[in-house]
């Protein structure tokens, strides 16, 4: 065994790499490297491996999406729900050491199109990897009448509730089948309201995704790059080569990105009544989700609208933004630098390791892309899990209801959410039920100190402190 390791892994310098030859008989070599019964030269092996590396780079670049950089730029949200139960799947399918140059370039293009490269507090972050635009819209209903239609920016509660499974209706034997079911859908009624501290049930609470960094985030990032760290340690121990940095770099970049993560808008504090004559209206907000059906969110305007406007929006900081730009560029350069290094300087045996790791990272990115892995360990996944524990595990084929769960914003700001869902065999049925509910609801004004019916302009979303603009607009009402 010692002789085998010595003969295979002794090529640690550039001069040794140049004179390296395949140590095994021709019959033991891969068919691709057998040429007319002769042992291929080092240059021939390198040419074959470089061609394979280029092919993997092309295929892998198509697999990567902007979602990997959304997770990178908002670690508080995307690792908020991380637990030991996520460790295996995160370690297997979330490395960022593969071909990311195409996704990085597309992310930078979005920054450029939105004007983020122009200077301090220039451009808009909405619609970029910093703050994704959901693309949904919501209609505002009050006293059975529709008032306006506006855009959903964040939509945290919609994303969370959309993760809940829809039960399949069982066909009873002996009954005639009616119209075919094309797609099961839902009507979700969500009531949001502030509650008192301490929490009624701490087990039903999720901490907000805008708080500062914690050791849990850095540990989760380490787990996500476990495969790369393992490969880097192998290179450092077996080859004693400085090329190990190629496998350690993704973890170091992730940690630096977390350190320089931009701050986020917190959960707005509860509006305290100060004038008996002032009222805040309770309204219904209707959202059509392309996959999950219809959502009706009920609550005070100041309570609900923050999840459509400012909650989670980045607080502008040019230093942190520049650091994130540089980190994304580094991720985009990782594969080209690794490919060139493997062709010119790496010994053949190390080239096999580098090529195998790139193939593994590419396959992991395809799994990440098509298994909804983007929501693993996120705040919305944690909220969906709380909904299940609060009652959705006992759902029937017709309906489900959960006890209140809580979003803990810190400093005594605690939001309760109560969800009730009915299941339908067609979108038309869900739409009719939603229409009947909207037109029959009469809201009773609640005593507060302000009104929040004003619509904000897009420029309000990219201020240094968006919530200040929001409160200013309320005071002008």
pLDDT tens for each residue of 100-140: 999 999 999 999 999 999 989 899 999 999 999 888 899 99
Considering only residues 166 and 9, tell me which one the structure prediction assigns the higher pLDDT.
Answer: 166
In a domain, 240, yes or no: no
For position 189, what pLDDT does the model report? 94
Give the span between the Cα atoms of 247 and 234, in whole angstroms.
10
Asked if 377 and 220 touch (Cβ cutoff 8 Å), the reply is yes
For position 338, what pLDDT does the model report? 94
**What confidence tens digit (pLDDT) does each residue in 222-253 have?**
999 999 999 999 999 999 999 999 999 999 99
In a domain, 416, yes or no: yes
Give the span between the Cα atoms of 115 and 113, in whole angstroms.
5
Bridge-based pairing state of the strands 414-424 and 185-195 = antiparallel
Name the percent of the chain lying above pLDDT 70. Answer: 77
The CA R_g of the chain, rounded to the nearest whole Å, is 27
Among 11-20, 53-62, 260-269, which is the least confidently predicted range? 11-20
In a domain, 360, yes or no: no
In a domain, 325, yes or no: no
Asked if 382 and 156 touch (Cβ cutoff 8 Å), the reply is no
Look at residue 98 and tell me whether its pLDDT is greater than 60. Answer: yes
**What confidence tens digit (pLDDT) does each residue in 28-58 have?**
454 445 555 556 666 677 678 778 888 888 8
The mean predicted confidence, pLDDT, of the chain is 81
Q: Into how many domains does the chain fold? A: 1
For position 438, what pLDDT does the model report? 87
In a domain, 71, yes or no: no
For position 447, what pLDDT does the model report? 42
For position 198, what pLDDT does the model report? 67
pLDDT band at 166, cuts 50/70/90?
Answer: confident
Read off the pTM: 0.80
In a domain, 419, yes or no: yes
Look at residue 258 and tell me whether its pLDDT is greater than 70. Answer: yes
Look at residue 275 and tell me whether its pLDDT is greater than 70. Answer: no
Question: Token pair 């708080």 is at which residue?
Answer: 211
In a domain, 83, yes or no: no
In a domain, 95, yes or no: no
Average pLDDT over residues 171-198: 76
Asked if 321 and 73 touch (Cβ cutoff 8 Å), the reply is no
| Domain span holding position 468 | 134-164+182-209+278-316+380-476
Note the maximum CA span of the chain: 95
For position 196, what pLDDT does the model report? 74
Give the span between the Cα atoms of 94 and 74, in whole angstroms.
15
Look at residue 285 and tell me whether its pLDDT is greater than 50. Answer: yes
Q: Which of 344-348, 440-444, 455-459 has the highest mean pLDDT?
A: 344-348
């Amino acid at each position: 065994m010692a002789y085998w390791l010595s003969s295979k892994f002794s090529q640690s310098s550039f001069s040794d790499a140049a004179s390296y030859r395949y140590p095994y008989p021709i019959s033991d070599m891969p068919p691709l490297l057998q040429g007319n019964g002769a042992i291929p030269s080092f240059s021939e092996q390198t040419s074959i491996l470089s061609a394979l590396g280029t092919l993997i780079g092309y295929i892998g670049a198509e697999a990567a999406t902007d979602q990997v950089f959304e997770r990178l730029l908002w670690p508080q949200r995307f690792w908020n729900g991380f637990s030991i139960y996520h460790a295996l799947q995160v370690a297997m399918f979330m490395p960022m050491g593969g071909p990311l140059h195409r996704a990085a370039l597309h992310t930078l293009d979005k920054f450029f199109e939105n004007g983020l490269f122009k200077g301090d507090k220039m451009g808009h972050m909405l619609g970029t990897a910093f703050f994704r635009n959901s693309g949904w819209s919501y209609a505002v209903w009050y006293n059975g009448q529709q008032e306006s239609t506006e855009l959903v920016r964040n939509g945290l509660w919609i994303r969370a509730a959309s993760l809940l499974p829809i039960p399949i209706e069982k066909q009873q034997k002996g009954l005639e089948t009616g119209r075919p079911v094309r797609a099961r859908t839902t009507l979700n009624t969500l009531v949001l309201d502030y509650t008192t501290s301490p929490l009624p049930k701490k087990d039903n609470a999720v901490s907000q995704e805008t708080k500062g960094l914690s050791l849990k985030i850095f540990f989760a990032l380490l787990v996500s790059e476990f495969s790369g760290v393992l490969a880097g340690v192998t290179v450092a121990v077996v080859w004693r080569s400085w090329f190990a940095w190629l496998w350690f770099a993704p973890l170091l970049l992730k940690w630096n990105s977390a350190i320089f993560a931009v701050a986020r808008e917190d959960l707005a504090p509860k509006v305290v009544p100060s004038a008996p004559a002032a009222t805040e209206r309770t309204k219904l907000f209707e959202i059509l989700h392309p996959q999950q059906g219809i959502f009706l969110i009920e609550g005070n305007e100041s309570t609900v609208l923050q999840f459509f406007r400012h909650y989670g929006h980045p607080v502008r900081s040019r230093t942190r933004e520049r650091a994130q730009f540089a980190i994304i560029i580094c991720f985009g350069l990782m594969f080209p630098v690794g490919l060139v290094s493997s062709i010119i300087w790496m010994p053949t045996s190390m080239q096999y390791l580098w090529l195998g790791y790139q193939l593994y990272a590419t396959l992991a990115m395809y799994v990440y892309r098509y298994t909804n892995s983007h929501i693993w360990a996120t705040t919305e996944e944690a909220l969906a899990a709380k909904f299940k524990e609060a009652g959705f595990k006992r759902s029937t084929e017709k309906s489900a209801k959960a006890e209140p769960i809580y979003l803990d914003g810190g400093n005594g700001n605690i939001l309760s959410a109560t969800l009730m869902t009915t299941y339908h065999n067609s979108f038309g049925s869900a739409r009719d039920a939603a229409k009947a509910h909207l037109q029959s609801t009469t809201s009773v004004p609640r005593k507060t100190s302000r009104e929040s019916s004003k619509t904000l302009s897009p420029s309000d979303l990219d201020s240094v402190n968006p919530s200040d603009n929001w409160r200013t607009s309320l005071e002008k009402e």
